[in-house]
């Protein structure tokens, strides 16, 4: 508990310093380019420090402002990354939204194997994981054409290359093409008070395109925000992902594409990547409560698990829950997020009563 109190105290100091840097962003929104420091924390990375820059531009005939972003950071666990993101609105009444993401990371990471729970022969692997070195590059592109009544649909392209020093995995190369459909009725983007977001997509990876494996992946995400009055918001999210493909001697399905849960956005309190398999299903909910002006509190809980679609085994699902604090930094309702969570599984972090602490920006969903 003493180390937990020290972590919370240090986090609040860093949270305050981040807010000081971030508050002026609102007054700089008319500037074409702004920058800000990056300070966050998760059990998987430890403390992360970096910087980011955003550019704003209104393309001809577009009714929404396009955003271009570049950021990079380094963690105390000697992980580093650089990411780029562009969200472009093209044409009057935004008939086309172009989303571009790409980046590179060099991470000491942890491999926990495939499956939902340890057995007698893999208990150590599933409990503490196997540390490995990962160099990963990625890029994805989505072109969403807007339709009436909040719908959008369009093609996607996905690329991933990763080299590891894992003897059983080695190098992974994926090229995929797919289709995404989306419905969005949220009132604001970053901290909605009402509305619904539904997004579903399917991607096919083919060796003819250069992939090291033939497989398909389907993802679906449903979120709803219900305003209960007096600033209280009930939010919930349903997420699922499925990998479809035959595992053969000549078609190894890489673990990188297997659905997983945990981390700072889905079932907080569970290590990200500890549980992977052919399918994942999860439900999480939050009660967001006003405290004072731009400060809010949050109570959250989630339940979910991963499954082998060829050998379904129903066991006790994974559960994560906790409390959080939100500090708003601009009129766009971007928040600094501090969460403390725990789960119903044994983790390498400490014990059954271990806590996971997260400090980042924007909401989990």
For 17, 24, 62, 287, the CA distances from 293, given in Å and listed in that order, are 19, 17, 33, 17
pLDDT band at 330 (very low <50, low <70, confident <90, very high): confident
Token digits for 252?
């190894």
Residue 149: partners with Cβ closer than 8 Å, 6 or more residues away: none
pLDDT, the chain, mean: 84
Match 């009714």 to its residue by tokens: 63
Q: What are phi and psi of 5, to 5 degrees?
A: -65, -40
1-55 tens-digit pLDDT? 444 444 444 444 444 344 333 333 333 445 566 777 888 888 888 899 999 888 8
Three-state DSSP class for residue 25: helix
Answer for the pair 67, 334: CB distance below 8 angstroms, yes or no: no
- The pLDDT > 90 percentage for the chain reads 52
Pick from 192, 265, 193, 261: which is nearest to 40 by CA? 265
Domains of the chain (ranges; CATH) run 2-361 (2.40.160.50)
Token digits for 321?
């829950």
pLDDT of residue 334 exceeding 60, the answer is yes
Strand partners, 109: 132
**Most confident of the ranges 65-74, 130-139, 216-225, 252-261:** 216-225
- pTM of the complete model: 0.83
DSSP string, 213-266: S-EEEEEEEEEEEEEEETTEEEEEEEEEEEEE---BTTB---GGGS-B-BTTTB
């Amino acid at each position: 508990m003493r180390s937990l109190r020290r972590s919370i105290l240090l986090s609040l100091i860093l949270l305050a310093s981040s807010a000081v840097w971030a508050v002026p962003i609102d007054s700089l929104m008319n500037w074409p380019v702004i920058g800000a420091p990056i300070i966050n924390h998760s059990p998987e990375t430890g403390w992360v420090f970096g910087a980011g820059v955003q550019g704003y531009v209104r393309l001809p005939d577009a009714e929404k402002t396009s955003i271009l972003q570049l950021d990079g950071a380094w963690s105390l666990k000697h992980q580093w990354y650089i990411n780029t993101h562009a969200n472009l609105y093209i044409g009057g009444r935004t008939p086309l939204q172009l989303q571009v993401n790409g980046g590179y990371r060099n991470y000491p990471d942890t491999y926990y194997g495939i499956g939902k729970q340890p057995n007698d022969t893999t208990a150590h692997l599933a409990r503490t994981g196997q540390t490995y070195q990962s160099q990963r590059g990625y890029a994805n592109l989505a072109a969403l054409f807007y339709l009436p009544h909040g719908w959008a649909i369009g093609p996607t392209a996905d690329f991933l290359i990763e080299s590891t020093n894992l003897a059983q995995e080695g190098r992974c190369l994926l090229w995929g093409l797919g289709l995404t459909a989306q419905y969005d009725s949220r009132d604001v983007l970053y901290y909605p008070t009402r509305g619904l977001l539904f997004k579903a997509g399917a991607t096919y990876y083919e060796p003819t395109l250069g992939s090291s494996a033939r497989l398909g992946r389907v993802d679906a995400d449903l979120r709803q925000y219900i305003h209960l009055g007096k600033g209280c918001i009930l939010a919930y999210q349903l997420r699922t992902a499925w990998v479809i493909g035959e595992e053969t001697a000549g078609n190894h399905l890489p673990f990188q594409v297997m659905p997983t849960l945990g981390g700072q956005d889905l079932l907080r309190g569970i290590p990200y990547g500890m549980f992977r398999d052919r399918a994942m299903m999860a439900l999480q909910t939050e009660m967001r409560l006003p405290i004072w002006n731009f400060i809010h509190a949050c109570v959250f809980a989630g339940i979910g698990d991963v499954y082998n679609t060829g050998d379904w085994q129903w066991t006790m699902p994974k559960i994560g829950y906790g409390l959080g604090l939100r500090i708003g930094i601009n009129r766009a309702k971007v928040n600094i997020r501090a969460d403390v969570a725990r789960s119903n599984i044994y983790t390498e972090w400490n014990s059954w009563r271990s806590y996971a602490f997260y400090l980042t920006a924007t909401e989990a969903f």
